[in-house]
Amino acid sequence: MEENKYLIKPDSKVAAFRSKNKVDIIYSSLIIPNELIDIARNKKYTVRTFGCQANERDGEIISGILEKIGYSKANSLEESDVIILNTCAIRENANERVFGEIGHLRVLKRNNPDLVFALCGCMAQQETTISKILSTNNQVDLIFGTHNISNLPDLLYQAYLSKEKIVQVYSKEGEVYEDLPSVRDSKTKAWVNIMYGCDKFCTYCVVPYTRGKERSRLKEDIIKEVNELVREGYQEITLLGQNVNAYGNDLNLGYNFEDLLKEVAKTNIPRIRFTTSHPWNFTKGMIEAIRDYPNIMPYVHLPLQSGDDEILKRMGRRYTFKEYLELYNLIRSTIPNVAITTDIIVGFPNESDEAFENTMKIVDECKYDGAYTFIFSPRPGTPAYLMKDEISSQTKSKRLERLIEATKKYAKLRNVEQEGKILKVLVDGPSKRNPDILSGYSEENKLVNFKGNPNSIGKIVKVKILKGKAFTLEGVQVDE
């Protein structure tokens, strides 16, 4: 019997597989059924994205495909004819938020029975989530996976034709798609994928299963995209990958992330950022490139996860705390005024008091500019899900509280160090809290609120820093 291509559910065993096969690069693949173009006329869409920057970029591509079909962006959920939730599965609370959202949408569906409601992103790649949605949530019309985005026009058309739910979630290593349309969220800052997927398989993490294997875009395609962004007047790009240091490994061309960074810098885009860089395989050459090219921003996100060797080993992180510290210190001593932030997980299965104290020691030593801190969330299908854990949730919460307090203290300390300096700020717009104040990010990726000229929005200006707080800097523009 032939498989029904509109009822393909995720398969975690297949998702965990890695081959050495060469990755296909697919150009200009979008096919839009004419009937769908008729349906889409005068119809509106909303894409709501959760999770990381890779997902944000996927959201922009999904919007691009919908606009290419003929939909236009809705101003509210109520006026939407198509609603797409682009989800994240990294922690259980991310999943819960999406289930909450699905609940709210029930009302919309009641008021507008023609509404097509779709779910995609990393939650779609998870067996447990999909069986739950299929058995309980009848308002979902379409589910598609992270490898199925280019099929969206056909899937959407099928959703209009069929009374059944349309499900198409491939579990595979994946390809590289080029030339998909996109609608970028910002006119000044852009995400640029340089690679997809992850092969690190940290034991707590769903990403290698939801995103497929590490696969790099060709440098020619990346540089072409960056040059277009320069022409369009973009001020900043962020090169995206789950682990950008692995860029190029799969292509075997002897061309790595350091080479790419330098070549991107030569396009003269005013600002280059990248995320995320794993401490493993972070080379001296990368650090020197950040130092030597003024348009590569002096900011590194360097996830620690834990400061304890036994936990790091069980997490599968591939470095010891000593190696981490060496790298950290090299970055600090090589790049002037660099800012470094991190991610830390507390309460990994059977994390002892001593292990937690080891993490606190590294935090005390590194005095990060900022930290994203999480309580370990067991993810079905990952090795850590099955690890024995006898640590109570109260203990974990207390640890998190202590960690947050410490990281806040150091963030403030680092920000106070900026007082009196003149920093370059790319102005995003009026501050969220006070319309008379402008806000933007410094080269060091610090959020700066300042008094300045409203005509500076979208430009890079000089701001004298008057006050450093835990999460923001305050200042005044000095080059109006």
3-state secondary structure of 330: helix
* Residue 54 binding target from ligand SAH, ligand F3S, ligand SF4, none, CB below 5 to 8 Å by type: ligand F3S
Cα dist. 8→5, 11, 50, 167, 176 in Å?
6, 9, 23, 6, 21
Q: Which residue is nearest to ligand SAH (CB)?
A: 343
At position 429, the amino acid (one-letter code) is G
Residue 405 burial by Cβ neighbours in a 10 Å radius (0-12, 13-18, 19+): exposed
Q: For residue 210, state whether it binds ligand F3S (rule: CB under 6 A).
A: yes
- Cis peptide before 283, with omega less than 30 degrees from 0? no
Select the span of 38-46, 168-176, 204-212, 413-421 touching ligand F3S (CB under 6 A). 204-212
Q: Given phi > 0 = left and psi -120 to 50 = alpha, else beta, which region is 374?
A: beta
Spatial separation of the C-alpha atoms in residues 224 and 239, rounded to whole Å: 13
Q: Which residues bind ligand SAH (CB under 6 A)?
A: 52, 90-91, 204-205, 207, 242-243, 276, 278, 303, 305, 343, 345, 374, 376-377, 379
- 101-136 as b/e, with b when 16 or more CB fall inside 10 Å? bbeebeebbeeeeebbbbbbbbbbbbbebbeebeee
Contact 445, 462 (CB under 8 A): no
Q: Please identify, using beta-carbon distances, which residue of 200 and 301 lies nearer to ligand SF4.
A: 200
Task: State the virtual CA torsion across 196, 199, 205, 208 in degrees, nearest 10.
Answer: 50
3-state secondary structure of 419: coil
3-state secondary structure of 133: helix
Q: For residue 129, state whether it binds ligand F3S (rule: CB under 6 A).
A: no
Q: Which residue is nearest to ligand F3S (CB)?
A: 51
In the DSSP assignment, the letter for residue 204 is T
**Smallest separation (angstroms) from ligand SF4 to the CB of 214:** 9
* Residue 55 binding target from ligand F3S, ligand SAH, ligand SF4, none, CB below 5 to 8 Å by type: ligand F3S
Spatial separation of the C-alpha atoms in residues 141 and 52, rounded to whole Å: 25
Q: Please identify, using beta-carbon distances, which residue of 319 and 368 lies nearer to ligand SF4.
A: 319
- 325-350 as b/e, with b when 16 or more CB fall inside 10 Å? bebbeebbeebeebbbbbebbbbbbe
* Residue 343 binding target from ligand SF4, ligand F3S, ligand SAH, none, CB below 5 to 8 Å by type: ligand SAH
* Residue 376 binding target from ligand F3S, ligand SF4, ligand SAH, none, CB below 5 to 8 Å by type: ligand SAH
**Smallest separation (angstroms) from ligand SF4 to the CB of 305:** 7
**HSE value, Cβ hemisphere, 13 Å, CA-based, for 290:** 27
Q: Please identify, using beta-carbon distances, which residue of 211 and 317 lies nearer to ligand F3S.
A: 211
Q: Please identify, using beta-carbon distances, which residue of 118 and 205 lies nearer to ligand SF4.
A: 205
Taking CB under 6 A as the rule, which mask of x and - marks residues 30-59 in contact with ligand F3S? Answer: ---------------------xx-xx----
In the beta sheet, which residues pair with residue 404?
none
**Smallest separation (angstroms) from ligand SAH to the CB of 90:** 5
Q: Please identify, using beta-carbon distances, which residue of 214 and 236 lies nearer to ligand SF4.
A: 214
At position 246, the amino acid (one-letter code) is A
Q: Please identify, using beta-carbon distances, which residue of 51 and 270 lies nearer to ligand F3S.
A: 51
* Residue 377 binding target from ligand SF4, ligand SAH, ligand F3S, none, CB below 5 to 8 Å by type: ligand SAH
At position 69, the amino acid (one-letter code) is I
Select the span of 8-16, 102-110, 206-214, 333-341 touching ligand F3S (CB under 6 A). 206-214
**Smallest separation (angstroms) from ligand SAH to the CB of 81:** 33
Q: Which residues bind ligand SF4 (CB under 6 A)?
A: 198, 200-202, 205, 207-208, 242-243, 278
**Smallest separation (angstroms) from ligand SF4 to the CB of 351:** 17
In the beta sheet, which residues pair with residue 468?
473
Closest CA to 198 of 190, 188, 206, 186: 206
In the beta sheet, which residues pair with residue 401?
none
Q: Which two tokens stand for residue 232?
A: 């369009």
* Residue 196 binding target from ligand SAH, ligand F3S, ligand SF4, none, CB below 5 to 8 Å by type: none
Contact 217, 239 (CB under 8 A): no
Q: For residue 140, state whether it binds ligand F3S (rule: CB under 6 A).
A: no
At position 308, the amino acid (one-letter code) is D
* Residue 10 binding target from ligand SAH, ligand F3S, ligand SF4, none, CB below 5 to 8 Å by type: none
* Residue 208 binding target from ligand SAH, ligand F3S, ligand SF4, none, CB below 5 to 8 Å by type: ligand SF4
Applying the rule CB under 6 A, the residues between 364 and 423 that interact with ligand F3S are none
Q: Please identify, using beta-carbon distances, which residue of 200 and 219 lies nearer to ligand SF4.
A: 200
**Smallest separation (angstroms) from ligand SF4 to the CB of 94:** 14
Interface with ligand F3S by CB under 6 A: which residues?
51-52, 54-55, 88-90, 121-122, 206-207, 210-211
